[in-house]
Amino acid sequence: MPTMRDRNAHGRFVRHYYCDSCQMLSINGLPCHETGCPDTWMDELRECRHCGTDFTPSERYQACCDEDCARTFYGE
């Protein structure tokens, strides 16, 4: 989820969230995608099925944090 920081008219920093697939907004400081946005998965934190560490996925159905864990988990 890309963000931009810039100053508003009062000189305070404001974060702007944007997504290429929807109109993002911030609710109580939490960035939210529109319902049905195909890129929502990019913002979720997942637990690796092999080692249990938390990671941000780089592919839609990624289950493991890196290639070594994926090879071990899937038995390759």
Domain boundaries, the chain: 1-39, 44-76
* 20 vs 66, more confident: 66
What confidence tier does 69 reach under pLDDT thresholds 50, 70, 90?
A: very high
* 35 vs 70, more confident: 70
Q: What's the whole-model pTM score?
A: 0.57
Asked if 37 contacts 19 with a C-beta cutoff of 8 angstroms, the reply is yes
47: CB partners within 8 A, 6+ apart: 53, 54, 55
pLDDT tens-digit readout, 4-61 = 556 667 777 776 777 888 888 778 877 888 888 888 787 788 999 999 999 988 888 8
Asked if 68 contacts 76 with a C-beta cutoff of 8 angstroms, the reply is no
CA 20 to chain CA centroid, nearest Å: 13
Place of tokens 């290429």: 20
